[in-house]
Amino acid sequence: MRYRLRTVQGWESGPLLILSVMSAAPLPAQQATGALGAQAVLAGTTIDPVPGTGSRTEVRVLHPVFLGRWSLPGGWLSLAGTFNLEGWVMPAGELTLGAWGEGFVDRRHPHTYVHELLAAATLPAGEGGARVSLAVGKGFAPFGTDDPMMRPVLKYPANHHLSQILERAVAIAAARVGPVAIEAGLFNGDEPERPGQWPALRRFGDSWSIRSTLYPWPGFEAQLSRASVASPEHRPGAGLRQTKWSASVRWERGSPTTRAYALAEWARTSEADDQFVFTSVLAETAVRLRAHQAYARFERTERPEETRTGDLFRSPRPHLENSILGTTRWTIYTAGYGITLAGPIPGLQLTPFAEGSHGRASERGSGFFDIEGLYGRATFWSASAGVRVSWRTAGHRMGRYGAAIAPADRHLH
């Protein structure tokens, strides 16, 4: 057995995982390739106002992830692993304007320690370059857009739970023919309740999603997704089923010294025969010129307002539909700038940055939620500054596996 591990993206345990898998199963006398990477962000954030009125400032380590990818030549067998340490460094969540989900409100929840861990088998390309694959493990369901962690803006958008379905036990069949890719997945509906929790395997297959993506020319893609998710916020399964839609267009082109990126997306989630409907529109862009990058995002997202616990940043779990007090619409403008500096070792980059947001919340329809009573006013601002430390993660995207990986991104997998 011969292998070659090419260090492109990484984690210190990544090689152990890869080598143990390679040692457990005999492989043909051919060379395997691996990709490893890591990143973390040290940032201070101030938001004014926060629940209970007044402002709050916190310094946190954000987005601490280790990435591992491995595949045989031709990609017929590949592994993907992403390990997230947010449960250790920010167990109480991250101050984020408009954030909600998994029992957190006005804070982004920590993700599970095992963000992705999948194996994908891909048949060799047939006539016309057609590819077919099957992926199984824990990761993203085939729905919506990329994980915001790997997009230009530091702060997650408020639409995270409308536009992505992640950290599920998934089985995904994918096919690509010419410029079209289609993915269909089965998974468990329940969301994680804490960072160390695994999906409820007894619920595997109670939810499904399908995504079609068109690649009409290099650097451009358009996707349309639909999903049916059973009781995501009630782990035993007694909650309502969600019907979800997502549509987006994405464009990215560049050279070694310049790069331009743009994304526009729409998402809709409904429950109880459209008794509860939450929609989102988002557009973001980034331009890089040598070491300098500027970016901006506009978002208008609706979120449920639920009964809160004694900690005003939390809502009870398991979620019950009769705890929804109303719906608010968050309109948020964000802009930022960073400059990337080479680190002391090859592939290491240090990016000092500053980012600011201004937003407004308004009630949508009837309800019993008083915005100004909770926050003191309906306009908000947020400011963040810090440094991103990354090693071999440039251009990395999460959420597609096997035949569904975009052609331009195959070198990262």
> What string of H, E and C letters represents the secondary structure of 183-228?
EEEEECCCCCCCCCCCCCHHHCCCEEEEEEEECCCCCEEEEEEEEE
CA distances in angstroms from 64 to 85, 177, 412, listed in the order given? 6, 36, 19
Residue 243 has pLDDT above 90, yes or no: yes
Domain membership flag for residue 3? no
* Average pLDDT of every residue of the chain: 89
Tokens of 12: 């210190």
pLDDT the model gives residue 412: 47
Tell me the Cα Rg of the chain.
21
Q: Domain holding 214: CATH number?
A: 2.40.160.10
Nearest-CA neighbor of 235 among 285, 200, 279? 200
CA distance 61 to 82: 17
Residue range of the domain that includes 314 = 14-412
Domain membership flag for residue 45? yes
CA distances in angstroms from 55 to 33, 108, 355, 377, listed in the order given? 49, 17, 17, 12
The separation between CA 329 and the C-alpha centre of its own chain, rounded to angstroms, equals 21
pLDDT the model gives residue 388: 98
The separation between CA 396 and the C-alpha centre of its own chain, rounded to angstroms, equals 12
CA distances in angstroms from 207 to 101, 230, 233, 244, 254, listed in the order given? 19, 6, 13, 11, 38
Nearest-CA neighbor of 183 among 399, 407, 412, 411? 399
Task: Give start and end residues of each alpha helix (H) in 158-315.
Answer: 160-163
Total domains in the chain come to 1
- Min mean pLDDT across 257-261, 318-322, 341-345, 368-372 is at 318-322
Mean pLDDT of the region 105-124: 96
Residue 322 has pLDDT above 80, yes or no: no
**φ, ψ (nearest 5 deg) of residue 61:** -90, 120
pLDDT grade, residue 333 (50/70/90)? Answer: very high
CA distance 333 to 324: 26
Cβ–Cβ < 8 Å for 363, 371: yes
Domain membership flag for residue 150? yes
pLDDT digits (tens, 9 = 90+) for 46-75: 999 999 989 999 999 999 999 999 999 877
Domain membership flag for residue 9? no
Domain membership flag for residue 6? no
Nearest-CA neighbor of 326 among 266, 373, 379? 373
Domain membership flag for residue 195? yes
Q: Identify how many contiguous H helices and E strands the chain contains and give both numbers.
A: 4, 19
pLDDT digits (tens, 9 = 90+) for 366-386: 778 899 999 999 999 999 999
Domain membership flag for residue 86? yes
Residue 27 has pLDDT above 60, yes or no: no
CA distance 97 to 50: 9
User: Residue 206's beta-bridge partner residues?
Assistant: none
Residue 18 has pLDDT above 90, yes or no: no
Domain membership flag for residue 192? yes
**φ, ψ (nearest 5 deg) of residue 229:** -115, 120
pLDDT the model gives residue 319: 66
Cβ–Cβ < 8 Å for 243, 276: no
